[in-house]
Amino acid sequence: MNKIFILCAVIIAVIYAAPDSSLDLADPVSTLAETVTTSAQLALPTTERREYETSDEQGTVDDRTKLVATLFKDYDKKINPDDVKLMFGVSLIDFHILEDKDEMESSVWLRYSWQDPRLKWNADEYGGATLIRLESDMVWKPDIALFNSADPVNMMNCWNANILIYSTGKILWVPPCKMLSWCHLTLHREPYGEQVCGLKFGSWTFDGDKLDLDFYKGNKTMDVSDLINTSGFEILSNKAEQTTKFYPCCKEPYRDLMFNITIKRIPGEELIKKW
């Protein structure tokens, strides 16, 4: 207690000694109170601040337990929702050109976003929870395949990342994947010539009327903002396009997304790697 009185006396003495004579005599007390309050706020443990900041987003563990039980009571992940519109994107993390096989090995993050009306809820009934994170095998997912895969048995080797479900019924899934695709190379004739390699994605069983396919956030390129690039090739251009096909057998449209990169060998890189 004596230490507190001494602290107060020191603060008051410092303020009175200040050249600004406009200070009110009540200021030292209020200043001390503000100092104590601010110090208490700054001393809040990091874990408590983080929980406070995210509590409105995910609610409490009891809120989430109740929510998951309600959502999945009659949910069947084997049944697809009606009229799915999948927004799909690719983030290129790294790639390697396998010259002797005409193949490109890619490390990517895929982006899937779609709506499932069966997984909507009123956040006010669950402690304000607007988002839950669950194992991805708990929900139905679009059957997207790599059409130009050079390994048809293992088209896309992906980590089973968590899936995000929002109270609006929106689902977001961003799995990191590794894949092998065909790439028509001319490096044996033009070691430093431009090469075009791509990744072609589409639904394996759903036509465009059942599963519409478009670009995630309208981005008609591969996202290269996290690219590491240990390939020895530089990317000259990067673009994607949507294709709609009709086959003689069927009246329904079939859609795919093709992500292409134009690349060129960096002079000297192949010599360094061979050495």
Domain ranges of the chain: 2-43, 64-274
Closest CA to 108 of 247, 222, 189: 222
Greatest distance between any 2 Cα atoms in the chain: 93
pTM for the predicted model, two decimal places: 0.77
Topology annotation, domain 64-274: Acetylcholine Binding Protein; Chain: A, (2.70.170)
Distance CA 78, CA 134 (A): 17
Rounded to whole angstroms, the Cα distance separating 198 from 149 reads 10
pLDDT at residue 151, as a whole number: 94
275 residues of the chain, pLDDT tens digit each: 444 444 444 444 444 444 444 434 344 434 433 433 333 333 333 333 333 344 448 889 999 999 999 999 999 999 999 999 999 999 999 999 999 999 999 999 999 999 999 999 999 999 999 999 999 999 999 999 999 999 988 999 999 999 999 999 999 999 999 999 999 999 999 999 999 999 999 999 999 999 999 999 999 999 999 999 999 999 999 999 999 999 898 899 999 999 999 999 999 766 555 54
pLDDT of residue 131: 96
- Identify the pLDDT of residue 273: 54
